[in-house]
Structure 1
Amino acid sequence: MGTPLGDFIRAKRDSIQPESLGLPERGRRRSPGLRRSDLAVRADISVEYLTRIEQGRDRNPSVAVVNALADALGLAPSERAHLRYLAKITGGECKAHPGPVPPRREVREPVLATLRLLEPGMAYVTNRLGDILAHTRAFASVAEGTGLLEPAVPNLTRYVFTDPRARALFPDWERVADERAFDLWLGPAVENTEWFTARLAPEAGPEFTERLHRPLVPGRGVLALDHPAGHGLRYDREVLELTADAQQIVVFHPADEATAQAMRRFHTPRTEEPTGAAPATAALRAIS
């Protein structure tokens, strides 16, 4: 039985063309990508050891081995971080841990104060599960009519996979869906991710569950929106990591002038402060 770490290494190896790493072409092969022997040589480990890692028979490679594999595969920074994360959770799979628990949704006051400073910009606070925990007025104005903020506890991941309006909103729905499923790998805790996926999988179906088994890191580019009001919007996104809280502030910047002009039409100057997600609990209060 494989492991997330082994599956990722094998999938990445299969996706690499040998010539891209300066290796000679060796004729037709039964399987695509980089040979296991070539990767082992580049990482300075034995083929037998690499085989054990890929097949899940060795679940605790050292930090040095993980870094050597990252170098040998030519991983991007985001892929390196993911490889280290997979090594961590794979090594801990055999350890007992408490049963799944609901994720924390409390946003600290300093984080809310930071969000206030971003007004009148478009931003929200989230966690890796996709809960929208707080947001600016500008974000609410753009989300109006999309259905995203309608639930008592809005969740972007659930919205993408279960609300038909998401496919109309996101013209690049497949890429957005890949992003949302991948972010569950980086959830605040393995237990929290299990808690969420156990409830979402039956509702979302195979388009969600199949993505959970795709180990490669998706590309993230400009986010396009086909807004119900008739605007075609394009945003660059900056993600500010709140490591201690296992949360993020996602800030949207117009990627073109047409989006900037549309945003000016969306935004009506107000004196109110940013709002939290609908107050299903005391933690999800309006920011005031």
Structure 2
Amino acid sequence: MMEGELGAFLRSRREAVTPAQVGLPTGARRRTPGLRRAELATLAGISVEYLARIEQGRDTRPSAKVLSAIAEALNLGEEDIGFLNSLAAFSNGAELCPRERRTSRVVRREVRAILRQLEPAPCFVVNHLSDLLAWTDGYARLMRPTGVLDQDEPNLLWFVFTDERARAVYPDWSGVADEYVVDLHELRRGDAVVDAFAERLATTVGAEFAARWERRPLGGRPADREMTHPDIGTVRLSFETMQLADPDQRLVVLLPADAATEAKLNRLNVNQVGLRAVGSG
């Protein structure tokens, strides 16, 4: 269930907006991060008490007109508005007939056959919790030296936040961590299993995960990602992601983002004819 998520999302966006961004004066001695509740209520044309009820989860079904006014007052971008709309739709009825969401670790035979056809390219299947469910031998040759596959049931997000080697693998560790939290939020869809997983991570990791989770980040993924490989040095990889028939599973293909990376992957025998560097023609 996503009880209270609509209000929590709006509160996170209110706290992220500065008065100057919405044309208000910035006074001294502000103890509230971002906008005060009264300031947003005034801008949106609603009462402070009503905004408080929404943010505290005591009113889970605000009208489209009210949400539109709040979104406009906060200058929300397209991604935030899209996510807000999905939360509003959920709050206005989907919870009355919830679908039990099963976190499956079973990859269909047909998908495994596709992975075999893609060898030796680095490809993998992942679910909405970032569990690695299946992968090509090419992916194993590329990623096993980094430590990603050391666990019996490897999880990409867990590796990034709990394994010190991840900071050496990803020079922009903070950006990569943000990306994984974005994915977890966007694929959440009211799943209590995601909430339990996030709570376990927050307990294990502490503020570095918990603060990101509370910010409720969306979007903002770069076109490619730089990685420092223990054997071949710096590589730059692009990610092509395809949704599978199982709504909680995705097939991800790693592509060289430049000619230097393409050559390095070929030396590891984790590339194949046809998977050229992105943009190389």
TM, length-normalised to structure 1? 0.73
User: Higher relative contact order by CA 8 Å / sep ≥ 6: 1 or 2?
Assistant: 1
Could you tell me how far 1:189 is from its partner in structure 2?
5.1
Q: Structure 2 vs 1, CA of residues 74 and 244 (structure 1 numbering), >3 Å: closer, same or farther?
A: farther
Corresponding position: 1:266 with 2:268: yes
By how many angstroms is 1:269 displaced?
7.3
1:238-253 counterparts in 2 under 5 A? Answer: 238-242=240-244, 244-253=246-255
Output the CA distance in 1 between the equivalents of 2:72 and 2:117.
Answer: 40
Aligned to 2:80: 79
* Aligned position for 1:214: 215
Query: What is aligned with 2:108?
Result: 108
CA distance in 2, matches of 1:203, 1:80: 32
Q: Alpha carbons of 1:15 and 1:154: their partners in 2 closer, same or farther (altered >3 Å)?
A: same
Contact 1:188 1:246 in 2 (8 A): no
Instruction: Note the C-alpha offset of 1:119.
Output: 4.1
Q: Report the secondary structure of 1:168's partner residue.
A: helix
Match of 1:145 in 2: 145
Match of 2:226 in 1: 224
Q: Which amino acid aligns with 1:229?
A: D
- Contact between 1:123 and 1:135, CA under 8 Å: does it hold in 2? yes
> One-letter code of the match for 2:259?
E
The worse-fitting range, judged by mean Cα deviation, of 131-140 and 111-120 is: 111-120
Q: Which amino acid aligns with 1:28?
A: G
Question: 1:151/1:80 Cα in 2 relative to 1: closer, same or farther (>3 Å)?
Answer: same
Evaluate the alpha carbon distance shift between residue 89 and residue 35 of structure 1 in structure 2; reply closer, same or farther with a 3 A threshold: same
Q: 1:136 to 1:9 in 2, by over 3 A?
A: same
Deviation at 1:231, TM superposition (A): 1.3
- 8 Å contact kept, 1:184–1:193: yes
- Three-state SS of the structure 2 residue aligned to 1:61 is coil
CA–CA distance in structure 2, aligned partners of residues 75 and 252 of structure 1:
32
Find out whether 1:165 has 2:171 as its counterpart. Answer: no
CA distance in 2 between partners of 1:71 and 1:260 (Å): 45
Distance 1:24 1:208 in 2: 32
Separation in 2 of the partners of 1:114 and 1:44? Answer: 54
**1:246 Cα shift?**
1.4
Change (3 A) 1:132 1:7: same
The correspondence for 1:257, drawn from 256, 259, 266, is 259
Q: Provide the residue aligned with 1:26 in structure 2.
A: 25
Q: Distance in 1 between matches of 2:105 and 2:202?
A: 21
Q: 1:17 to 1:162 in 2, by over 3 A?
A: closer
Residue 157 of structure 2 aligns to a residue in which SS? helix
Deviation sequence 1:42-82 (CA, Å, 0-9, x none):
75655543332123321222455445544554444433343
Distance 2:114 2:170 in 1: 28
Paired residues in the alignment total 266
Superposed CA deviations along residues 4-31 of structure 1, whole A, max 9, x for unmatched, are: 32232222233335665xx545353635
Query: Which amino acid in structure 1 is aligned with residue 58 of structure 2?
Result: R
- The residue number in structure 2 matching 1:282 is none
Asked if structure 2 preserves the Cα contact closer than 8 Å seen for 1:4 and 1:215, the reply is no
Once residues 115 and 69 of structure 2 are traced to their aligned partners in structure 1, the CA distance between those partners, rounded to angstroms, is: 40
Q: Which amino acid aligns with 1:262?
A: K
Whole-Å separation in 2 of the counterparts to 1:3 and 1:267: 49
Amino acid in the other structure paired with 1:108:
R
**What amino acid sits opposite 1:140 in the alignment?**
A
How far apart are residue 209 of structure 1 and its match?
3.2
1:235 alignment partner, SS class: strand
CA 1:202/1:50 → structure 2, altered by over 3 Å: closer, same or farther? closer
Between the aligned partners of 1:242 and 1:75, the Cα distance in structure 2 is: 31
Q: Could you tell me how far apart the structure 1 residues matched to 2:271 and 2:239 are?
A: 23
- Give the structure 2 partner of residue 135 of structure 1: 135
Q: Identity, % of aligned pairs?
A: 40
Residue identity matched to 2:148: L
Alpha-carbon offset, residue 33 of structure 1? 4.2
Cα distance change of structure 1 residues 35 and 207 upon mapping to structure 2, 3 Å threshold: closer
Pairing partner for 1:237 from 231, 236, 239? 239
For structure 2, list consecutive stretches of 5 or more residues without a partner in the other structure: 273-281
In the other structure, the counterpart of 2:4 is 3
Q: Which amino acid counterpart does residue 177 of structure 2 have in structure 1?
A: A
